[in-house]
Amino acid sequence: MGASICAPNKKKTQVGASWVGNDTENPFDTGLSKKDRTCLRDTFQRLEEPKEIVGLIFLDIVNDIEPDLKKVFGVDRAPRSQMLKMPKFGGHVARFADLLDQLTSMLGYTENLTGAWQLVRKTGRSHVRQQFLEENQNQLNKNYFDIVINIFIHRLIPYLTGEQELPNNNAEGGGEQRKVRFVQNYQPAQVHDVWKRFFQIMIAQMTDSFELERAKQRNAQSQKALAPHQHVEQSERKKKKIQEKQSEIENTASSNEPKEQEQMFEDPF
């Protein structure tokens, strides 16, 4: 009881159009400490070319794990070596990497936790526009956000812990420089644990906001489908009411009010 009296004022925050929560429910706040969030940012910054690594992982996803996604990303006719050059696929790789950059910066640098939460939920919602996901997400228990992000848990984290060498690390001159940046100030196990929790929050938030948005849009669609006959009934009722009122006014006017002489004004032209 005491706890509820002493609890700090809960600040209401609008999280996207379809969901309202407050700051104390922000999973990036409740699920990660300040130190964890700094670790996310520091370790992400170790990757000199995050897009390159995200690209390699997405190539495996569409070629080896979920070939159904090839068509979605417009690479069903492209050889593997050309896929990253295709606009939709290459664009998605870039946006995915940018999202990780933005999120880790908001969490570990500017400390805009509300912004990070809103961004992840907005990303989940925006995927309802993708017809493939609108139709297939979580049908037959297949959660595509879960599938994709779990591959990232397995494939991206070893780069972040420093256990796996960055691509092209043996390139002339580059190798030495990259090794210097990988001076360990976090234990690999800690980095692994923090990133896993971060990715799990992403899965949960994207899945939830996607589901809410899809339900909202399907509901709006069925309302639209119902609307035509509802509109006819409504306008008939309105018309009848107006007619009743009109005749009431006319009746009262003709019986109570003295008839006014109609005035004529001179035509100004």
Distance CA 88, CA 196 (A): 27
Which residues, 177 to 236, sit near ligand HEM by CB under 6 A? none
Distances (CA, A) of 227 to 215, 233, 241: 18, 10, 21
When binding is defined by CB under 6 A, the residue of 133, 151, 153, 204 that contacts ligand HEM is: 133
Distance CA 89, CA 97 (A): 12
Which residues, 33 to 52, sit near ligand HEM by CB under 6 A? none
Which residues, 67 to 96, sit near ligand HEM by CB under 6 A? 69, 72, 88, 91-92, 95-96
Which residues, 141 to 170, sit near ligand HEM by CB under 6 A? 144-145, 148-149
Residue 107 binds ligand HEM, judged by CB under 6 A:
no
Q: How far is the CB of 153 from ligand HEM (least distance, A)?
A: 11
Q: Tell me the helices (H) and strands (E) count for the chain, helix number first.
A: 12, 2
Residue found by looking up tokens 């961004």 in the block = 119
Residue 121 binds ligand HEM, judged by CB under 6 A:
no
The footprint of ligand HEM on this chain (CB under 6 A) covers a number of residues equal to 18
Q: Residue 51 or 178: which CB sits closer to ligand HEM? A: 51
Distance CA 68, CA 266 (A): 80
Q: How far is the CB of 57 from ligand HEM (least distance, A)?
A: 11
Residue 132 binds ligand HEM, judged by CB under 6 A:
yes
CA count, 13 A, side-chain hemisphere, 219: 7
Listed in sequence order, the residues at least 6 apart from 209 whose beta carbon sits closer than 8 Å to its beta carbon are 16, 18, 19, 120, 121, 122, 124, 125
Partner residues linked to 142 by β-bridges:
139
Which residues would be at the binding site for ligand HEM (CB under 6 A)? Answer: 69, 72, 88, 91-92, 95-96, 99, 123, 126-127, 130, 132-133, 144-145, 148-149
